[in-house]
C-alpha cells in the first residue's frame, strides 16, 4: 500500500476487494493500510464517524528543551528539537490536544478504545482533556525503561518511565480486552500496569545515512505489540494519527490488524513505508491466541516473543524431541497433538505431571544445537541491563 495526500473515497471496487464493510455512498471510505500525508486533525475530520476500532497516539510531548544537551564527555545528545514538538504556549498545546482528541472520539466505534503515550511534560494535560471530552479512563500504564537515558546535568532524577493512558468512549461503553492473552503472555499471572521494556535501539532503531536517528522518539515494537494484542482482534482497524516511522503499522501488519497512519513529515513517511513493506505478517496458526479461562520468573516468556527473541511460528521441543509445539503471538504454545497453554502448563499436560518448569523443559534450535529457552531469557536480561 502507498501514501495518499488527502483522505478521499477510494474506488468502491477497491474497498470491496479489501473486505471493507459497505458505507453509504456519501461517506468517505477508509484508507486502509495506507499513510495519509498531512495534518492529523484535518485528516481525521475526513474519516467517517465510528469507523475505527482502536487509536494509538504518540503526540508531540511539548518538551520545551532550552539549549543544547551534552554528555559529560562533551558529545552532543540527539534530543527532540524538531519544529513539530514546539508550541507557542501551554494554552496553544491545550487547544491542539483537545482538537485532535475530539476528532479521535468522533471516529472511534462505540466499543473502541484509545491509547495515548506521553511524559511528565504533557501526559497530565492529555489526561485532563481526555476526561473533559467524555472518554472513560480504564488504566494508566507505566512503561519502565530498562535502559533509560541518564540525566546528564545531574539536576533531577533520571527520567526512567513514560505513561500510557488507555480509555474507552464512555463510562458504560463496552470494549475489547483480551485478558486471557495478557495472562498467558505473562506466564499465567495477571498482567500488571507497570511494563518494562528497553528503549528502542539496535537494529530496530531506524538510522539515516549519516548515522543519526530518523526519529528522536521511535517507540519499541514490543510496546505496541502488547497494546495491540491486549485490546484488538485480527481484522480490527487501528489508527495512528502521529505515525512517525510506522511502528504501529509494522506491528499491526504482523498481527493481522488493518491500520491507518497519518503523518506530515516526508522523511518519516519514507522510512515508515519502507519499514512496513518489509514487515512479514504472521500466519493464521501463529495468530491464534488463548481465549478460554485458566516463583514468577524475572522475565515472562511473552516478553521474549514481544522483543523478537522467539518469533511466533517458531517450533519448540523437549530435550529428547518427544514433543513439539509452535509459539503463538501471545506467548502461548500449540502442540502437534492439539493441546495448548503456557510454556509451563503445556509442558505439564504433555508429561501428565502436576507441574513443569517450561524454561528448562522447552528447547529451540540454535546455531550450535538444541538449547533451552532459558538461555534466551538470560540473553535478554544481559541485553537489557542498565
Q: Which residue has the higher pLDDT, 1 or 293?
A: 1
Look at residue 168 and tell me whether its pLDDT is greater than 90: yes
With 0.85 as the threshold, say if the pTM is over it: no
Task: Give the class (CATH, top level) of 34-66+77-290.
Answer: alpha beta
**Phi and psi at residue 132, in whole multiples of 5°?**
-65, -30
Looking at residue 82, its pLDDT comes to 58
Section 208-227 average pLDDT: 82
Gap between the terminal Cα atoms of the chain: 39
Looking at residue 2, its pLDDT comes to 74
Least reliable range by pLDDT among 114-128, 282-296, 345-359: 282-296
Q: What is the pLDDT of residues 283-328, one digit of tens each?
A: 777 777 765 443 334 688 999 999 999 999 999 999 999 999 999 9
Section 343-372 average pLDDT: 93
Q: Where does the chain have alpha helices with state H?
A: 12-17, 40-45, 90-107, 123-132, 179-185, 221-231, 247-254, 266-278, 284-287, 301-306, 343-351, 358-361, 374-383
Least reliable range by pLDDT among 49-63, 76-90, 122-136: 76-90
Looking at residue 199, its pLDDT comes to 85
DSSP string, 95-130: HHHHHHHHHHHHHEEEEEEEEEEE-TTTHHHHHHHH
Amino acid at each position: 500500500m502507498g501514501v495518499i495526500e488527502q483522505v478521499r473515497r477510494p474506488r468502491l471496487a477497491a474497498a470491496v476487494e479489501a473486505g471493507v464493510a459497505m458505507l453509504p455512498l456519501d461517506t468517505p471510505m477508509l484508507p486502509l493500510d495506507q499513510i495519509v500525508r498531512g495534518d492529523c486533525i484535518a485528516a481525521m475530520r475526513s474519516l467517517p464517524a465510528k469507523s475505527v476500532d482502536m487509536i494509538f497516539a504518540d503526540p508531540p510531548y511539548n518538551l520545551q528543551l532550552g539549549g543544547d544537551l551534552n554528555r559529560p564527555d562533551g558529545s552532543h545528545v540527539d534530543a527532540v528539537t524538531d519544529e513539530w514538538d514546539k508550541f507557542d504556549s501551554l494554552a496553544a498545546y491545550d487547544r491542539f490536544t483537545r482538537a485532535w482528541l475530539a476528532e479521535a472520539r468522533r471516529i472511534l466505534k462505540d466499543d473502541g478504545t484509545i491509547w495515548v503515550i506521553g511524559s511528565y511534560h504533557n501526559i497530565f494535560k492529555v489526561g485532563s482533556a481526555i476526561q473533559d471530552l467524555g472518554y472513560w479512563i480504564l488504566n494508566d500504564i507505566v512503561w519502565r525503561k530498562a535502559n533509560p537515558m541518564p540525566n546528564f546535568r545531574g539536576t533531577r532524577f533520571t527520567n526512567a518511565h513514560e505513561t500510557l493512558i488507555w480509555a474507552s468512549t464512555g463510562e458504560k461503553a463496552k470494549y475489547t480486552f483480551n485478558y486471557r492473552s495478557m495472562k498467558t503472555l505473562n506466564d499465567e499471572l495477571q498482567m500488571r500496569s507497570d511494563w518494562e521494556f528497553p528503549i528502542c535501539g539496535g537494529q530496530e532503531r531506524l538510522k539515516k545515512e549519516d548515522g543519526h536517528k530518523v526519529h528522536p522518539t521511535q517507540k519499541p515494537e514490543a510496546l505496541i505489540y502488547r497494546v495491540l494484542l491486549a485490546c484488538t482482534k485480527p481484522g480490527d482497524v487501528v489508527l495512528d494519527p502521529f505515525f512517525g516511522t510506522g511502528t504501529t503499522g509494522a506491528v499491526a501488519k504482523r498481527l493481522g490488524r488493518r491500520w491507518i497512519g497519518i503523518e506530515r513529515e516526508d522523511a518519516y513517511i519514507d522510512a515508515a513505508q519502507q519499514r512496513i513493506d518489509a514487515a512479514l505478517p504472521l500466519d493464521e496458526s501463529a495468530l491464534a491466541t488463548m481465549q478460554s479461562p485458566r516463583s514468577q520468573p524475572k522475565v515472562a516468556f511473552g516478553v521474549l516473543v514481544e522483543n523478537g527473541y522467539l518469533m511466533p511460528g517458531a517450533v519448540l521441543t523437549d530435550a529428547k524431541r518427544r514433543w513439539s509445539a509452535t509459539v503463538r503471538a501471545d506467548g502461548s504454545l500449540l502442540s502437534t497433538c492439539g493441546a495448548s497453554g503456557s510454556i509451563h502448563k503445556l509442558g505439564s499436560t504433555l508429561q501428565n505431571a502436576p507441574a513443569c518448569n517450561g524454561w528448562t523443559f522447552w528447547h529451540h534450535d540454535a546455531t550450535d544445537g538444541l538449547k533451552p529457552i532459558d538461555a534466551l531469557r538470560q540473553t535478554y536480561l544481559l541485553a537489557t541491563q542498565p
